[in-house]
Amino acid sequence: MTDALSITASAVDPGLLTLPWSTPLAEWPSSTIVSLPKGISRHLVRFANLSGRVVAVKETTAEMARREYEMLGNLHRLDVPCVDRVAVIAGRTDAEGNPLPAALVTAHLKFSLPYRALFTQVLRPDTATRLVDALAVLLVRLHNVGFFWGDVSLSNTLFRRDAGAFAAYLVDAETGELHESGLTRGQREHDLDVARTNIAGEIMDLAAGGRLEGGVDALEIADGIVSSYRSLWAALTDRETFASSDAWRITERVQRLNALGFDIGEMSIEATPDGNRVSIQPKVVDAGHHQRRLIRLTGLDVEENQARRLLNDLDEFRARVSLLGDDEEMAAHEWLTRVFEPIVKAIPYDLRAKLEPAEVFHQVLEHRWYLSQERGQSVPLAEALTSYIKNVLRHRRDEATIMGPPTETLAIPVVTGATPVIDDDEDASLDWRDLV
């Protein structure tokens, strides 16, 4: 390192100064590197230890690093699911004083997985569909705040389990643009076209490697993001016209959007001159309707589908068990201390990196349901929990910072035409059959 080294950071972390910035990223020592699975990237990316946590380090130009750093900060302020920025490192030189690329440092998203880590020997159709649906939701959320991605793909996304589904997070914002006035239909359609092309290429690459289940149509999977996106976008933005006597449909529209996980900021309502018909068009604030309600009641910050699942259990508890009546906040506290926390605390310490607590709770409830179906009678929660720990959780791989096989070359290039950088230094000896 020289005095020319420049560090722009969102928070002061002295550990940044201890990383080997005077060494090319490809040559960083194994004592610094953390072996984690990653997707295809046009830049060299390594995971490293920083003050007890894991960060991703990407070599790029100083201009692009600063631009993406600012973009991630803006997206975070807009409450869009994306990785957290940590720092930009510029002015790097090697021991001989030769310039080295700048670096963008982002935080590793705990319990997240790249799409290539979410299959075993072959990619199952239902897993592919859930991934594409999650990416469609993310794209809708990005477009809703005026973000044009420009390079939508599974490789540029991380996925976290979400009560039987997946939640998608943006990883690479390098090509993105934020438009305060919103996006045009042409910009949204361009992102959709790029998404379809990239996903088709990624799925075909799996097929070429023998990792796609027989009979699965890669183009059909890729087309799924278009249909999922358009269906959700229409539900959020379409104008609806009805007779003025059917005013109840306003409440129905709000409830339908809430069920999809979105909150309404305001509603545009217009009546015809004769007063016989009414048109409404909602303005969606953002996704996270159930997340916000759960945080307000319990302080638990989880994914949207997990929040929906926990709230269902909370409402059932309140109706059948709690003696606190209509006091929702007190009932929520009682549920938290009597139901949720005992289950989470019962997980052995050595198994707590397997899954997030909310996902464990969801899976315990699912396991209880299956056991009850098998026996034809209700199974006590404590018994279901013991069975789940012994027969399910103990046999899963850890997902807090999961290690995985090497990434592989895409057989079909991404739509941008950039040449991917492939890393082959990860541990390939692990068995992935317990992941999905």
d(CA 421, CA 43): 6
Residue whose C-alpha is closest to residue 336's, from 365, 368, 294 = 294
| Contact indicator for 42, 419 with CB cutoff of 8 Å | yes
- In 3-state terms, what secondary structure has residue 103? strand
Cβ contacts of 128 within 8 Å, gap of 6 or more:
203, 216, 221
Residue whose C-alpha is closest to residue 101's, from 54, 45, 32 = 45
pLDDT given for residue 242 in this prediction: 77
d(CA 361, CA 364): 5
Alpha-carbon torsion, ordered 353, 354, 358, 360, to 10 deg:
-140
Residue whose C-alpha is closest to residue 155's, from 183, 140, 174 = 174
d(CA 80, CA 425): 32
Under-70 pLDDT residues of the chain: 1-3, 36-41, 118-125, 211-215, 263, 265-267, 281, 283-286, 322-326, 397-436
d(CA 44, CA 402): 20
d(CA 364, CA 234): 35
Residue whose C-alpha is closest to residue 228's, from 173, 165, 291 = 165
CATH classification number, 113-237, choose in 1.20.58.100, 1.10.1610.10, 3.30.70.1350, 1.10.510.10:
1.10.510.10
Query: Phi and psi of 393, rounded to 5°?
Result: -60, -40
What single string gives the DSSP state of each residue in 1-18? --TT-EEEESS--GGGGG
pLDDT given for residue 380 in this prediction: 87
Residue whose C-alpha is closest to residue 152's, from 118, 125, 187 = 187
d(CA 313, CA 318): 8
- In 3-state terms, what secondary structure has residue 375? helix
Confirm or reject CATH 3.30.200 for domain 6-109, answering yes or no: yes
| Identity of the amino acid at 13 | D
Residue whose C-alpha is closest to residue 88's, from 6, 172, 26, 151 = 6
pLDDT given for residue 84 in this prediction: 94
| Contact indicator for 188, 149 with CB cutoff of 8 Å | no
Quote the pTM value: 0.73
Query: Helical H runs in 124-184?
Result: 125-144
